[in-house]
A and B are shown apart, each in its own frame.
Chain A
Amino acid sequence: MKSPIKALTLTVSALAAIGLLASCSNGANPGGGESADGQVELSVVSLIPGTEQAAFDAFNNQVKQFEKANPDIKIKPVEYEWKADTFPALLAGGTLPIVYTIPFTDGQTLIENGQIADITEEVKALPFYDKFNKNVLSAGTDDKGHIFAVPREAYGNGLQYNRDLFTQAGLDPDKPPTTWDEVRAAAKTISEKTGAAGYMQMTQGATGGWQTTVATYAHGGRMEEIKGDKVTATLDTDATKKSLQFLKDLRWEDNSMGSNFLYDWGTINKAFASGQIGMFTGGSDLYTALIRENQMDPAHYGITTLPLEGKDGAVLGGGTLSVVNGKASEAQKKAAVKWINFYYLQKYLDKDAAITDAKTLAAANQAVGTPALPIFDKATLDESREWIKDYINVPQDQVAPFTSKIFDQPLVIEPTKSTQDIYGILSPVVQAVLTDKNADIDALLKQANADAQAVLDRG
């Protein structure tokens, strides 16, 4: 070390490196607590990354409005989009903001893992608490009645179909199938006439089990039975067998499922949007993703209700929950529920809020008016739809087969115990049925049920 200048440069650069690292680890710390002047700092998710500036401006206006009404709360918006591949990393890394949103499918697992905060008191204090659709609210409630999440929007699973492929195959896109036999017949026709897979189902990761649960519910079955503290896995009922037999028939007898069988949520959307798949089951909120991410021609999109069978036939519901980070302080929890009420719920209850929200979505090129289920009652939903009718950009006549009938279908939420594990156990079964001609459905389900029971027993 000959010259002092060199030494200085070295020291400075070493310090800079250390400082850089230190600031990195600071950044990983989710939104502080209370600041010196008693203000609660609340980090919340804002809009998805890449949204246009106009939408951000609208969002920031809402933030200002909220802060004006609640001078003790300081909002810190964070761009966010829930994605299956990035969310677990955000969760494990502890970098999620205080208020964020998750799909229904994750609710029970996060509650079991203790990763989201109990907000029972705050939610029950909301003046419109009694108006909540209890069925939908239960997606974010544990078995002791504690509330951990507030529904933001709800949907039912439906039968997605490509109207263009229907037309090409000589089928009437305005008269989609209403029974599973009709679905099978339509799939065969589409397959023969167009070369596309007539019918397909998600099979990978947890999605295979998730959509098998959708089919099982539609056939009148359930995945688990809860009596007191005892949870029994019921993966091997006739309803599940029927729904797998349906796939087996389409695959091996009719050959109407194409040749590729490994799909998850993202890839099946892509294949469907590009006309490789005629029909598949999925949430009624898919429109946004199909149009925005997969560039599907809106004119090709169609959705109808699932055929329900048996006296317990039901639709598996889904949707988005807004939750409060498990790391939140008491003050932050209170502020968080205030924000959830203001930003996510008022649009169903207040005309101005509804219009602001619709405007923001429309400006962000997001879909307005996707078929939804009421998180309060149907009259409230209808009224809020009426307020925003000028901004609706989803072709309503194409979703009419779904919206005209969904309210007559009973809605049931997902299995509440070890949801993701049970889905994960079922996915290989679906894959086996689709890729192995000699797959023994009964034996596979028996084994899956035993595996699921083992998971449930260890709690």
Chain B
Amino acid sequence: MRTPEPRAGRGDGPSIPAVTPRYSLVQEGTAATMTTLTKPAPTKRRRARNPRTWLRGGGLSNLLFAAPMIIIFGLFSFYPIIRAFVMSFQKTNLIADPQWVGLLNFQRVLEDPVFWVALQNTGWFALLALIFGYPIPLIAAVLMSEVRRARGLYSVLAYLPVVIPPVVAVLLWKFFYDAGPNGVFNTMLGWVGLGPFPWIQDATMAMPSIVLEATWAAAGGTIIIYLAALTGVAPELYDAAEIDGAGIWRKIWHVTLPQLRGVLLITLILQIIGTAQVFLEPFLFTDGGPANSTVTLLQLIYRYGFQNSLGGNYGSATALSVMLALFLALLSFVYFRLTSGWSKN
């Protein structure tokens, strides 16, 4: 059973283990090219760097090929980012010349009572999404990886919600969430004597209801990532654990989770960034209601910029965007700093 394979021994704790087969292929591939490249002395490479060789080496056509992407990114990504940053220090109606107002926009946002509500709500959403949305895909993936037959079917079923366009999914769930006794969910729960629940029509229930839909909608993508990562866990580790007398829970705790930690770290930070930017669900489900109980930061940005004041408040909108972006950048930085040791074992 324990025939030594060439890959054996990698399970002893290599740095950032080959979490997915695709990932490992890339890693091995780059490792191979690195060695072949480094052999013929680095000096040769350095000498190659001058404009003429760059030109002769196809630099121009490289640039030409890259040009459409550079232009498109520049026009639709970098330019708006820079513009937004500039606008956060301006008062503008996009018609008259903008006026510089210093930090006034930032001050206004911080003085807005709804900002603090939105901040709280976004935190609450992130927490709920973490509690429900983070472990569920992992559990589902672990269970699915244990299934021997029709695994493809389960993957398809898990991934199906991701295929449905998000707006369609929300509108569909909005219909399910009808608070009347004839609403779809209320009817179903009525069969077992529960409800009717107000779902999104109640300040306390609205946010959990939204998280429920968001979890359902997003779980599929994460499950696929975990499934792929799980196939990268060397089976002999389980065999070894089994011989040592580990049960299923100890195997998961001591083998599966440590082996997945690289992926777990990435999905966690992605989820935190994602939840901090939640917009679509509260926007379509409740438009921030009832009584601002589901207003999120991004939705507030939208409101400043486009909704109530008919676009009069681009300053506050961009100021809040800049603050959110800085916060997320800082968070990601700190997070990776703190966890870099962990992921490297």
Q: Is the CB of B310 within 8 A of A106?
A: yes
Q: Is the CB of B312 within 8 A of A205?
A: no
If A21-B71, A432-B203 touch, does A10 touch B64 (CB 8 Å cutoff)?
A: yes
Bound together, the chains give a CA A113 to CA B96 distance in angstroms of: 10
Within 8 A of B (CB), among A1-40: 1, 7, 10-11, 14, 17-18, 21
Bound together, the chains give a CA A326 to CA B286 distance in angstroms of: 34
Q: Is the CB of A428 within 8 A of B291?
A: yes
Total B residues in contact with A, Cβ cutoff 8 Å? 45
The 6 closest A-B pairs by CB, nearest first: A424-B308, A432-B291, A259-B179, A435-B290, A88-B306, A431-B290
Check if A423 is an interface residue, CB within 8 A of chain B.
yes
Check if B258 is an interface residue, CB within 8 A of chain A.
no
Could you say which of A88, A205, A261 contacts B201, with CB atoms under 8 Å apart?
A: A261
Bound together, the chains give a CA A110 to CA B307 distance in angstroms of: 13
Total A residues in contact with B, Cβ cutoff 8 Å? 48
Check if A62 is an interface residue, CB within 8 A of chain B.
no
Check if A310 is an interface residue, CB within 8 A of chain B.
no
Check if B123 is an interface residue, CB within 8 A of chain A.
no
List 28 A–B pairs whose Cβ atoms lie within 8 Å, in order of A's numbering: A1-B58, A10-B64, A17-B68, A21-B75, A94-B95, A106-B310, A110-B310, A113-B310, A114-B95, A115-B94, A115-B95, A203-B289, A205-B287, A206-B308, A258-B180, A259-B179, A259-B196, A259-B198, A260-B178, A421-B308, A423-B308, A427-B289, A428-B289, A431-B291, A432-B203, A432-B290, A435-B290, A454-B111
Check if B166 is an interface residue, CB within 8 A of chain A.
no
Contacts of B60 in A (CB 8 A): 1
Bound together, the chains give a CA A109 to CA B309 distance in angstroms of: 7
Check if B27 is an interface residue, CB within 8 A of chain A.
no
| A residues neighboring B (CB under 8 Å) | 1, 7, 10-11, 14, 17-18, 21, 87-89, 91-92, 94, 106, 109-110, 112-115, 203-206, 258-262, 264, 326-327, 420-421, 423-424, 427-429, 431-432, 434-436, 451, 454, 458
Task: Identify the closest chain B residue to A450 (Cβ).
Answer: B113
Contacts of A205 in B (CB 8 A): 287, 307-308
Q: Is the CB of B203 within 8 A of A1?
A: no
Give min CB distance, B292 to chain A, whole Å.
5
Could you say which of B68, B96, B287, B311 contacts A262, with CB atoms under 8 Å apart?
A: B287
Tell me how many residue pairs across A and B have CB atoms closer than 8 Å.
125
Task: Identify the closest chain B residue to A84 (Cβ).
Answer: B307
Bound together, the chains give a CA A305 to CA B218 distance in angstroms of: 49
Q: Is the CB of A114 within 8 A of B96?
A: yes
Check if B200 is an interface residue, CB within 8 A of chain A.
yes
Give min CB distance, A202 to chain B, whole Å.
11
Could you say which of B67, B94, B288 contacts A92, with CB atoms under 8 Å apart?
A: B94
Task: Identify the closest chain A residue to B317 (Cβ).
Answer: A92
Q: Is the CB of B310 within 8 A of A109?
A: yes
If A262-B200, A436-B203, A436-B291 touch, does A206 touch B71 (CB 8 Å cutoff)?
A: no
Task: Identify the closest chain A residue to B307 (Cβ).
Answer: A205
Give min CB distance, A243 to chain B, whole Å.
17
Task: Identify the closest chain B residue to A260 (Cβ).
Answer: B179
Q: Is the CB of A451 within 8 A of B113?
A: yes
Give min CB distance, A86 to chain B, whole Å.
10
Interface string of B64-80 (1 = CB under 8 A from A): 11011001100100000
Check if B305 is an interface residue, CB within 8 A of chain A.
yes
Highest count of chain B CB atoms <10 Å: which of A10, A11, A259: A259
Check if B279 is an interface residue, CB within 8 A of chain A.
no
Contacts of A110 in B (CB 8 A): 310
Task: Identify the closest chain B residue to A430 (Cβ).
Answer: B291
Contacts of A206 in B (CB 8 A): 307-308
Task: Identify the closest chain B residue to A106 (Cβ).
Answer: B310
Check if B314 is an interface residue, CB within 8 A of chain A.
yes
Check if B61 is an interface residue, CB within 8 A of chain A.
yes
Q: Is the CB of A260 within 8 A of B180?
A: yes
Contacts of B68 in A (CB 8 A): 14, 17
Contacts of B309 in A (CB 8 A): 109, 113, 420-421, 424
Give min CB distance, A247 to chain B, whole Å.
13
Contacts of B67 in A (CB 8 A): 14, 17
Task: Identify the closest chain A residue to B104 (Cβ).
Answer: A458
Name 5 extra pairs, CB < 8 A, besides A88-B311, A451-B113: A115-B312, A428-B292, A432-B203, A432-B290, A435-B198
